[in-house]
Chains A and B, each alone.
Chain A
Amino acid sequence: MTTAQIGQSSTSISRKLVVEAAIVLGIMLFLIFILPLLMSDFRLNLTGRFLALSIVALGIDLIWGFTGMLSLGHGVFFTLGGYALAMYLKLQIPANASSQLPEFMGLYGVTELPWFWRPFYSFPITALMVILLPALVAAILGYLIFRNRIRGVYFSILTQATTIIFFNFFNGQQKLFNGTNGLTDFKTLFGLEVSKPGAQYVFYVLTILFLAATYALSRWLTSGRFGRLLVAIRDDETRVRFTGYNPTGFKVLVFAISAAFAGLAGALFTLQTGIISPNSMNIAFSIEMVIWVAVGGRATLVGAILGTLVVNFAKSTLSEKFPDIWLFFQGALFLVVVLFLPNGIVGWLRDRGLDTFQTLIGKRKRSMTYPSLEEDPEVEYERKNTGD
């Protein structure tokens, strides 16, 4: 590290932003127009799912990577978003059908639609609920936890306990949510048949747009004073208090935003898998989300997305080729990251990778001491000519 970056002018910062936006746009165009030509519908659908999952990962990066709160309960928010949209889909019943209730309700002898299903006739309310419901649950839970200054492991345990409560609740409510089977067998959305490739391509594009939007939002949140305060809370919350900030509000807000991301991801995932069930609230899934972020690199945002894609593609490829032992690969991947790349893939690239890459393509010499010494021609001259 040198003192070269002193006084970054605002023009160079805005130029960097333009470059970043151009790269994001380029990737988006590639994903939307080129990738579908290279992949089968099945693979494209998988990619869409993984891109949806990387929206959750962004949320986890916000609260864990930046703010230092390890949530092991994001499966709950993910599932709530999924259920909100699934309820709307289940209410798309043709007018000439024999029963105007979702079919599972008939099985359990429900004759009237439960009151809380009614708002989900409306799409705007549904769209709002996909984001608001998880955000609200997180805000209430977060307020109670953070106001009482519960931190660290205890926070993680509480989020995990929340997962169990929600899992058991949804599992047990056959009449309200079809219990352990979840909501599936969706028919239409805006007249489109949801299972057809055409509709699936629309969902795929939607996922990319939402991913870009959440990425932009995360970048904005973490770049200014707010973002620095999140890092400050992660590094020394007590100091933040004595500087005159109340950390509770900041933590509640960022927890709610990350839950909203999870809800959005859950809805997009549900559209592309055609099912949402209490299964996505099991603890393993919430822990997997954390692993994606760890693999990609904490507090890097790009790392969260990259980690999600790498782990999930590895998982799907390996589980096809080695159905019996692929779990070992996943474990090994996690071990490698923890032991050798503690800052994740992107963290390593930022720290070390750039140098290594430049060395490999011969742009820069590999230096054994300090680059500032070895690259100084006077020092080199002295060393060669005056002997050791």
Chain B
Amino acid sequence: MSEKILEIENLTVNFDGFRALNNLSFSLDTGELRVIIGPNGAGKTTFLDIITGKTKPTEGQVRFKGRNLRPYAEYQIAEMGIGRKFQTPRVYLNLSPRENLELACNRGKGVFPTLFKRTPSPEKRTVSGLLETIGLIPKADMKANLLSHGEKQWLEIGMLVAQSPDLLLVDEPVAGLTDEETERTGELLISLAQSHSIIVIEHDMEFVRQIARQVTVLHQGSVLCEGTIDEVQNDPKVIEVYLGKEETQHEDDMRPMSYPVSTEDAIAT
């Protein structure tokens, strides 16, 4: 099945002359789990900002299930079925995990349904189920600011699932987690991938290896290459971007890779 859930064509984002994304094209199949990697400043977060409507593209368009997203605001895009997890865990610290999840789970997100309707019991059951999945049952009714960093990360992933989106955008889910937590997060994402389309942005290569089937490498606002993790790791362009030019190493093995050329010249003379 190769129906596209997300299609991006010739996308350019221009921040006062700085092209955060440059003529980027990308597509994601329904039910796919894709990992996006790339050095700092490659435009990964801007990429998510565009999909979720936080930033509007200068040129090009994003289509989600065939619909152009440009005219919609963030909350409308979220309602269409795109959920986003932020880089640093963003949960509501003064609410309990249960309340956090109930807010995300709410099906009628207008002002008046929220005000007048009590939380229906199917939603309560969903919330209890999620609390169990993310292992927060014992802490379900204390304030979320008392949770550890890892627990907050998981709570946010839980909130994302509670929204029941079709496409999950997950920005660095394992930043600051222990190895064990990282592995459990990977398992969680893989099990979620059975029923959702997921885009994960991550730096931790070991983690990427654990979950990735297809990897996309971003560099300077464009797609550098796409493929399986092994293909990507052996791609000379990727190595060049991450490790510096290969030929430079041949010239002088002792030279630190990131040494700027001009300084070199200065030392030589």
**What is the minimal beta-carbon distance from A13 to any residue of chain B, in angstroms?**
12
Does A98 lie at the interface of the complex (its beta carbon under 8 Å from any beta carbon of B)?
Answer: no
The answer to whether A235 and B84 touch across the interface, beta carbons within 8 angstroms, is no
A228 touching B84, Cβ below 8 Å: no
A215 to B252, CA, bound (A): 77
**Chain A 244-263 interface mask (CB, 8 Å, partner B; 1/0):** 11100110010000000000
Known: A3-B142, A228-B102, A232-B103. Contact between A241 and B92, CB under 8 A? no
B contact residues around A234 at 8 Å (CB): 94
Contact B141 A6 (CB under 8 A): yes
Residue pair B141, A242 in contact (C-beta under 8 Å): no
Interface check A124, CB cutoff 8 A: no
B75 touches A246 (CB 8 A): yes
How many whole Å from B89's CB to the nearest CB in chain A? 10
- The distance from the CB of B228 to the nearest CB of chain A, in whole angstroms, is 31
Does B90 lie within 8 Å of A236, measured CB to CB? Answer: yes
Which of A5, A239, A243, A249 has the largest number of chain B CB atoms within 10 A?
A: A243
A236 touching B146, Cβ below 8 Å: no
Q: Is the CB of B142 within 8 A of A225?
A: no
Chain A binding surface, main DSSP class: helix
Interface core residue of B92, B94, B104 (most chain A CB under 10 Å): B92
CA distance A6 to B143 in the complex (A): 12
| A3-B78 contact, Cβ under 8 Å, with A225-B103, A239-B92 | no
Contact of A243 among B76, B95, B103 (CB under 8 A): B103
- Contact among B74, B79, B95, B163 with A231 in the assembled complex (CB-CB below 8 Å): B95
Nearest residue (CB) in A for B78 is A244
Q: How far is the CA of A32 from the CA of B83 in the complex (A)?
A: 54
Known: A236-B90, A239-B92. Contact between A228 and B103, CB under 8 A? yes
Question: With the chains together, A179 CA to B110 CA distance in Å?
Answer: 43
Q: How long is the Cα–Cα vector from A243 to B158 in the complex, in angstroms?
A: 12
Chain B residues, CB < 8 A from A235: 92-95
Instruction: Tell me the complex Cα distance, A228–B142, Å.
Output: 14
Q: Are B94 and A243 in contact, with the CB atoms below 8 A?
A: no
Are B110 and A244 interface neighbours, CB within 8 A?
Answer: no
Which residues of chain A are within 8 angstroms of B110 by Cβ–Cβ distance?
249
Q: For chain A, residues 106 to 150, give those with C-beta under 8 angstroms from any C-beta of chain B.
A: none
- Is B35's CB within 8 Å of the partner chain A? no
Check: A287 CB closer than 8 A to any chain B CB: no
Give B106 Cβ to nearest chain A Cβ, in Å: 6
B102 touches A241 (CB 8 A): no
Q: B13-21, B37-45, B111-119: which one contacts chain A?
A: B111-119
Across-interface contacts of B256 in A (CB, < 8 A):
none
Residue contact A232 to B95, C-beta cutoff 8 Å: yes
Contacting residue for A245 out of B93, B109, B117, CB 8 A = B109
Contact of A229 among B74, B103, B118, B146 (CB under 8 A): B103
Number of A-B contacts (CB under 8 A): 87
> What is the bound-complex CA distance between A242 and B95, given in angstroms?
17
B188 lies within 8 A of chain A by Cβ: no
CB of A94 within 8 Å of the partner chain: no
**What is the CB-to-nearest-CB distance from A252 to chain B, in angstroms, rounded to a whole number?**
8
Which residues of chain A come closer than 8 Å to B99, judged between CB atoms? Answer: 228
Q: Which of A5, A8, A244 has the most CB of B within 10 A?
A: A244
Question: Are A243 and B146 in contact (CB-based, < 8 A)?
Answer: no
Chain A residues near B12: list those with CB within 8 A. Answer: none
Does the CB pair B75–A6 fall under 8 Å? no
Min CB distance B169 to A, Å, is 9
Contact check, A225 vs B84: say whether CB atoms are below 8 A apart.
no
Residue of B nearest to A8 (CB): B141
Task: Confirm or deny: A331 has a beta carbon within 8 angstroms of a beta carbon on chain B.
Answer: no
A329 close to B (CB within 8 Å): no
A225 touches B78 (CB 8 A): no
Q: Which of A3, A231, A232, A234 gathers most chain B CB within 10 Å?
A: A232
**Are A225 and B119 touching (Cβ within 8 A)?**
yes
Within 8 Å of chain A (Cβ to Cβ): is B52?
Answer: yes
A6 and B78 contact, Cβ closer than 8 Å, known pairs A231-B92, A249-B111? no
Q: Give bound CA distance, A246 to B75, whole Å.
A: 6
Identify B92's interface contact among A221, A236, A244, CB under 8 A.
Answer: A236
Given the complex, which residues of A lie within 8 Å of B86, measured CB to CB? 239, 242
Which one of B78, B138, B143 contacts A242 once the chains associate, using CB atoms below 8 Å? Answer: B78
B208 to chain A, nearest CB (A): 24
A191 within 8 A of B: no
* Residue interface mask A4-45, B partner, CB < 8 A = 1: 011110000000000000000000000000000000000000
Chain A residues in the interface with B (C-beta under 8 A): 1, 3, 5-8, 221, 224-226, 228-229, 231-232, 234-236, 238-239, 241-246, 249-250, 253
Q: Which residues in B have some Cβ–Cβ distance to A below 8 Å?
A: 52, 73-76, 78-79, 83-84, 86, 90-95, 99, 102-104, 106, 109-111, 114-115, 117-119, 138-143, 146, 159, 163
3 pairs of A and B residues whose beta carbons are closest in the complex: A244-B78, A241-B74, A249-B111
**Given contact pairs A229-B103, A239-B91, A242-B86, a sample of 10 additional A-B residue pairs in the complex whose CB atoms are under 8 Å apart:** A3-B138, A225-B106, A228-B102, A232-B95, A241-B74, A242-B78, A244-B75, A245-B75, A249-B111, A253-B111
